[in-house]
Structure 1
Amino acid sequence: MITVEELSKRYGAYQSVDRVSFQARPGSVTGFLGPNGAGKSTTMRMMTGLTPPSAGRSTILGVPYADLPNPGRHVGVLLDASAQHAGRTGREILRLGALLMGLRRQRVDESLELVGLSGDEGDRRIGDYSLGMRQRLGIAHALLGDPQVLILDEPANGLDPAGIHWMRGLLKGFADRGGTVLLSSHLLHEIEIIADHLVVIGRGVIVADGTKADLLSAAGTLVRGLDPAALATCLDAAALSYRSTQDGAYVVQASREQVAAATAQYGVVVTELRGADGAGLEDMFLQLTADDAREKVTA
C-alpha cells in the first residue's frame, strides 16, 4: 500500500506539487499520469525520500520510506534508468545492490534472466547499453530484493514493442500476486491497457482519481450522424453539452439514452452511438489536464 497525503513541494515562488493525495493499493497497477512538468517525478522523489517535501507526508507499507528497514527488500524503485555508472557491467550493478541488501549471489543471475539480460548482455558495460537495455536493468534492480511495492517512473521509455509487451506482463503478474505497482508514464495507450486505477496530475494538482472504468465512462457519449450540422443543431435544441472531435463526431456529456432520445425527437439519423471511453484515455487525459488543472501559485 502507498498512501500520499497533502504532499506539496515549493521551490521559491514556484509551486511544483500542491496538496497531492492518493493511494495505490495491493493487487493493482496504479497509473500516475500527467504531461511533462505536471509534478509526477517530483511526487515520486518525495515518496522515496530523495526530495524533502514542503508539506504533507507519504507512507509505503504504513511507514515513511526512510523508516523502512533495508528498503530495497520492501520497495523496488526505478526513477532514472540512465543514473547508472557507465563503466560498470549490468551484472556488477546488480551484485552491488545484492551486497547492500544482503541477498544471496544467485539472485543476481535470476534477476538478469527475468529481464532478458542474461549471458553476454549482463557482462557488457552500461555505457554500451541502449536505453531499452538500461530500462530492463533498472527494472531488474527494482525487483532484486523481491519487494512488495514497485515505484516506476517512465519504465517503458526506450523499450521496443516487444519490450513493452514483456513489461506489461511482468507488472500485471506482480500485481496479480498481491504486489502494489505505481507506474508513471506519458504513454497513455500503455497505461490504458495495464492500469486498474488512474491518478491524473496537471499543473501540480490531482485532477482525476478513480478506476479506469469509472473515469472513462465519465467521458460521456460519442455520437456521429449522416448530417453533422443537423446533429449539432439537435444537441443544441436538447440543451446537451458537447464538443466536436477531429473526425466529425461529437462527445456529449450525457448518457446514451439521453442522446438517443434527442436525436429521435428531432429526426436526426445517427450512424454511431457509444460510450466515449472508446475514444481512449488520451482524450480524457487532454481534457482533464487542459480544463481542470488550476493555475500555479506564483505568490
Structure 2
Amino acid sequence: MIEVERLTKRYGPATVVEDVSFVCRPGTVTGFLGPNGAGKSTTMRMLCGLTPATSGTATVLGVPFTSLPNPGRHVGVLLDASAQHAGRTGRETLALTARILGVPAARADEMLDTVGLAGKAAGRRVGDYSLGMRQRLGIAQALIGDPSVLVLDEPANGLDPEGIYWMRTLLRDFADRGGAVLLSSHLLHEVEAVADTLVVIAGGRVVASGTKSKLLAPSGRTFVRALDPAALYSALVGAGLPVVRREPPADGGGEAFVVEAQGEAVGRAAAASGVVLLELRQASGGGLEELFLTLTGRQTGPATTPSVPQEALR
C-alpha cells in the first residue's frame, strides 16, 4: 500500500509538486502519468526518501520509506537504471544487492534468469549493457528482495517490443499476486494495457485520478455515417448538434462524424432531413492518449525555472 497525502515540494519560490494525493492499493497497478517537468520523478523521490518534502506525507506499508527496516525487502525501487556501477558485472551487481538485503545468494541467479540476463549477459560489465539490459537489471534489483510494493520510474525505456510485453506481463503477475505497483511511463498504450488505476499530474498538481474504467469510460458521443455525408453534416448543424470530429471514409461508406449528442437525437435529426444512415453507434472513447492530451495539453509545469535542481525537472 502506498499513500500520498497533500505532498508538496518547493525550491525557493518555485513549487514543483503541489498538494498531490493518491493511493496505490495491493493487487493493483497504478499508472502515474504526466508531461516532462510535471513533477512525477520528484514525487517518487519524495516517496522513497531521496528528496525531503516541503509538506505533506508519503508512506509505504503504513510508514515513511525511511522508517522501514531493511526497505529493499518490502519495496522494490527503480528510479534510474543508468545509476548502476558500470564496472561490475550483472551477476556481481545482484550478488552484492542480495548480500546487502540478506537474501540467499542463489536469488541473484534466479533474478538474472527471470529478467532474461542469465548466461553470458550475466558476466558482462554493466557499462557494456544496452539501455534495455540495464533496465532489466534494475528490475531484477527491485525484485530481488521479494518486496510487496514496486516503485518504477520509466522502466520500459530502451526495451524493444518483446521486452515491453515481458515487462507488462511481469507487472501484471506481480499485482495479481497481491503486490502494489506504482508505474510512471510515457508509453501510454502500455500503461493503458496494464494499469488498474490512473493518476495524471500536470504543473505539479493532480488533474485526474481514479480507476481506468471510470476515467476512460465512453462519453456521451455518437458515431454516425451516412450515404450522403454532406447532407448528414447539414442535418446535424441544422439541428444544433455539435460535430466534434470527422472520421475518414471507410470501405463502402463515406465520411463519418462524431457528434456530442446521444444516438436518438442524431437519428432524429437525420430522419427529419431524409438522410439515409449507414452506421449509428456510441462513439468509443479516445483511450488514455486522448485523456492525457486533454488534461495536460495546455498545462505547463515549472520546468523552465532556472533555479530548480535538475532532478526536479524530470
Contact 1:30 1:195 in 2 (8 A): yes
The residue that corresponds to 2:145 in the other structure is: 145
- Per-residue CA distance 1:275-295 (angstroms, 9 max, x = gap): 432x3211111011135x587
Whole-Å Cα distance in 2 between the matches of residues 144 and 216 of structure 1? 34
Tell me if 1:273 matches 2:281.
Answer: yes
Q: CA deviation at 1:241?
A: 5.5
Letter in 1 for 2:109: D
Unmatched 5+ residue regions in structure 2?
A: 249-254, 306-314
The residue that corresponds to 1:11 in the other structure is: 11
Evaluate the alpha carbon distance shift between residue 239 and residue 214 of structure 1 in structure 2; reply closer, same or farther with a 3 A threshold.
farther
Whole-Å Cα distance in 1 between the matches of residues 215 and 260 of structure 2? 13
Contact 1:219 1:284 in 2 (8 A): no
1:218-297 matches, cutoff 5 A: 219-226=219-226, 231=232, 234-235=235-236, 243-244=244-245, 247=248, 250-256=257-263, 259-260=266-267, 263-264=270-271, 268=275, 269=277, 271=279, 273-277=281-285, 279-290=286-297
- Per-residue CA distance 1:107-132 (angstroms, 9 max, x = gap): 10111111010111011001110010
Evaluate the alpha carbon distance shift between residue 73 and residue 234 of structure 1 in structure 2; reply closer, same or farther with a 3 A threshold.
farther
Letter in 2 for 1:271: E
Q: CA deviation at 1:258?
A: 5.3
Whole-Å Cα distance in 2 between the matches of residues 39 and 232 of structure 1? 43
- Per-residue CA distance 1:47-72 (angstroms, 9 max, x = gap): 11111111111111111111111000
Evaluate the alpha carbon distance shift between residue 48 and residue 263 of structure 1 in structure 2; reply closer, same or farther with a 3 A threshold.
farther
Evaluate the alpha carbon distance shift between residue 11 and residue 113 of structure 1 in structure 2; reply closer, same or farther with a 3 A threshold.
same
Q: TM-score, normalised by structure 2?
A: 0.85
Secondary structure of 1:82's match?
Answer: helix
Whole-Å Cα distance in 1 between the matches of residues 208 and 236 of structure 2? 27
1:130-169 matches, cutoff 5 A: 130-169=130-169
Q: TM-score, normalised by structure 1?
A: 0.89
- Per-residue CA distance 1:43-102 (angstroms, 9 max, x = gap): 111111111111111111111111111000000000111111111111111111111111
Secondary structure of 1:271's match?
Answer: strand
The residue that corresponds to 1:40 in the other structure is: 40
Percent identical residues = 61
Whole-Å Cα distance in 1 between the matches of residues 69 and 129 of structure 2? 32
Q: CA deviation at 1:244?
A: 2.2
Letter in 1 for 2:12: G
The residue that corresponds to 2:207 in the other structure is: 207
Unmatched 5+ residue regions in structure 1?
A: none
Whole-Å Cα distance in 2 between the matches of residues 229 and 254 of structure 1? 19
The residue that corresponds to 2:198 in the other structure is: 198
Secondary structure of 2:244's match?
Answer: strand
Evaluate the alpha carbon distance shift between residue 294 and residue 36 of structure 1 in structure 2; reply closer, same or farther with a 3 A threshold.
closer
Whole-Å Cα distance in 2 between the matches of residues 255 and 205 of structure 1? 33
Secondary structure of 2:82's match?
Answer: coil
Q: CA deviation at 1:17?
A: 1.0
Q: CA deviation at 1:198?
A: 1.0
Tell me if 1:181 matches 2:175.
Answer: no
RMSD between aligned residues: 2.5
Q: Which has the larger radius of gyration?
A: 2
Corresponding residue pairs, total: 296
Whole-Å Cα distance in 2 between the matches of residues 20 and 265 of structure 1? 50
Whole-Å Cα distance in 1 between the matches of residues 272 and 154 of structure 2? 48
Evaluate the alpha carbon distance shift between residue 295 and residue 169 of structure 1 in structure 2; reply closer, same or farther with a 3 A threshold.
closer
Whole-Å Cα distance in 2 between the matches of residues 62 and 267 of structure 1? 64
Evaluate the alpha carbon distance shift between residue 273 and residue 143 of structure 1 in structure 2; reply closer, same or farther with a 3 A threshold.
same
Evaluate the alpha carbon distance shift between residue 265 and residue 86 of structure 1 in structure 2; reply closer, same or farther with a 3 A threshold.
farther
